[in-house]
Amino acid sequence: MTDRVASIQAEWAAERPDLDVSPQGIIGRLHRLAGYLTGELLTVYERHGLGEGEFDVLATLRRAGAPYERAPGELAEHTMVTTGAMTKRLDRLVEAGLVERRTAEGDGRRRIVALTPAGLALIDVAFTEHMANERRVVDELTGEDRVALEGILQRWIAVYED
């Protein structure tokens, strides 16, 4: 089966036969697939008036459990963005009425971010649709392929996260 990556590899093999371009078959396809998958996911977020970052913040607060709150630094850590980027995301979510910033009970120096009732309602609907969308996307693979791919990706990402 020939795809765009195979064509690129063939061109490089002709131009640089001294190099092993086989890694490009994996990395190139993963890179292209990531772009396609991001597009698939963004359609759901956008339908709910959210960007990827805002969805991530709301989901992180929601999965914290009641009362659906975390410290801003904790949010930044869970979403893997800088505190500056988190501040911008939170500003947009506060303006939209989806989260609120307040001081923590019992510690007036500590700030927390919490879902508002509107934010909770929105993320519950958006996340339900997001999971259905992800199911639709991964259902393109057989069950056996999904299990194999998940194991491979877990082992591979552990190289970078451990």
- At 76-98, the pLDDT tens digits run 888 878 878 888 999 999 999 99
**43 and 74 inside one domain:** no
pLDDT at 157 over 80: yes
Q: In this predicted structure, what is the pLDDT of residue 78?
A: 85
pLDDT of the residue at 105: 77
Segment 71-75 shows an average pLDDT of 89
Among candidate residues 46, 37, 48, the one with its CA nearest the CA of residue 124: 48
Q: What is the pLDDT of residue 83?
A: 79
CA distance 14 to 29: 20
Verify that 156 and 88 share a domain, yes or no. yes
pLDDT interval class at 34 (50, 70, 90)? very high
Same domain as 141, residue 111 = yes
Same domain, 72 and 17: no
81 and 62 in a common domain: yes
Statement to judge: residues 95 and 20 lie in one domain:
no
pLDDT band at 161 (very low <50, low <70, confident <90, very high): confident
pLDDT at 86: 87
Please indicate, yes or no, whether residues 19 and 65 belong to a single structural domain of this protein. Answer: no
Instruction: Write out pLDDT tens, residues 110-152.
Output: 889 999 999 999 999 999 999 999 999 999 999 999 999 999 9
Distances (CA, A) of 136 to 29, 37, 150, 154: 20, 11, 16, 21
pTM (two decimals): 0.86
- Judgement on whether residues 25 and 80 belong to the same structural domain of the protein: no
On whether both 90 and 154 belong to a single domain, the answer is: yes
Q: Which domain holds residue 7?
A: 1-47
- Are 22 and 89 within one domain? no
Both 130 and 145 in one domain: the answer is: yes
Domains: count for the chain: 2
Same domain, 8 and 38: yes
64 pLDDT band, cuts 50/70/90, is: very high
pLDDT for the residue 152: 97
129: domain CATH number is: 1.10.10.10
What CA–CA distances, in Å, run from 48 to 55, 102, 118, 129?
9, 25, 12, 10
When pLDDT is cut at 50, 70 and 90, the band that residue 40 belongs to is very high
